[in-house]
């Protein structure tokens, strides 16, 4: 099974968000004792440990047509516990995917920025959350706002319809926006790209 979601393996390399692993390694020198003398011989080099990989373990199955206004949230068969949330957004597929420890628990068709105000691609931590927010720039309501950039790009509830666009924000249906708002915390990562395919079982490098 393949799904469209947000990863730019070339553009977004070098962002390590995994867990630091401390390992015990042998001394860089090993002692050998021949019958008549002692010789110090360098030991084999120790390979550094890889950061914990963030792997897609499940993709949600959506049986209905993927059109504006469609969303799904399903946490069944997901291991218990808070887990680590990663959100991916793709402006070509116009979809958002929400993962908990690699298990996709949410998807929604989104609105994104028009050509004059495009939604920027990149890796963004959530820096602010407000359930009731009004845009300082456009004086419009942005319910369940989750800020991604200092210049106003955020995820928020929108009237998601075909032909609509935003001023750069990521708009999602209001019920989905509420569930997402209740699930995330400050610092959770949102990865925005413009078209990538990845199979279930593969790693999201930008989230590792």
Exposure string of 121-157, with b = 16+ CB inside 10 Å and e = fewer, is bbbbebeebeeebeeeeeeeebbbbbbbeeebbbbbb
**Model confidence pLDDT, tens digit, residues 36-95:** 454 455 556 655 545 578 999 999 999 999 999 999 999 999 988 889 999 999 999 999
**Model confidence pLDDT, tens digit, residues 104-118:** 999 999 999 988 899
Report the pLDDT value the prediction gives residue 38, as an integer from 0 to 100. 46
The domains located in the chain, with CATH, are 2-11+53-207 (2.40.440.10)
The pLDDT mean for the chain works out to 80
- Would you state the structure tokens that stand for residue 54, as one six-digit string? 């963030």
Q: CA dist 126 to 28, 57, 144, 156, Å?
A: 42, 23, 12, 12
- Give the rounded distance of the alpha carbon of 45 from its chain centre: 34
Greater pLDDT, 39 or 173: 173
């Amino acid at each position: 099974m393949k799904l469209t979601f947000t990863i730019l393996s070339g553009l977004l390399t070098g962002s390590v968000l995994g867990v630091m692993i401390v390992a015990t390694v042998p001394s860089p020198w090993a002692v050998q004792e021949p019958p008549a003398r002692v010789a110090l011989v360098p030991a084999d080099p120790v390979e550094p440990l890889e950061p914990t990989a963030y792997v897609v373990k499940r993709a949600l199955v959506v049986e209905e047509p993927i059109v504006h206004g469609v969303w799904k949230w399903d946490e069944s068969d997901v291991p218990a516990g808070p887990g680590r949330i990663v959100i991916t957004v793709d402006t070509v597929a116009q979809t958002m995917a929400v993962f908990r420890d690699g298990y996709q628990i949410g998807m929604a068709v989104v609105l994104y920025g028009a050509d004059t105000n495009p939604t920027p691609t990149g890796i963004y931590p959530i820096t602010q959350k407000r359930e009731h927010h009004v845009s300082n720039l456009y004086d419009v309501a942005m319910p369940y706002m989750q800020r991604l950039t200092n210049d106003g790009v955020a995820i928020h509830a929108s009237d998601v319809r075909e032909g609509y666009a935003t001023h750069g924000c990521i708009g999602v249906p209001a019920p989905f926006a509420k569930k997402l708002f209740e699930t995330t915390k400050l610092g959770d990562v949102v990865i925005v790209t413009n078209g990538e395919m990845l199979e279930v079982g593969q790693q999201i490098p930008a989230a590792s």
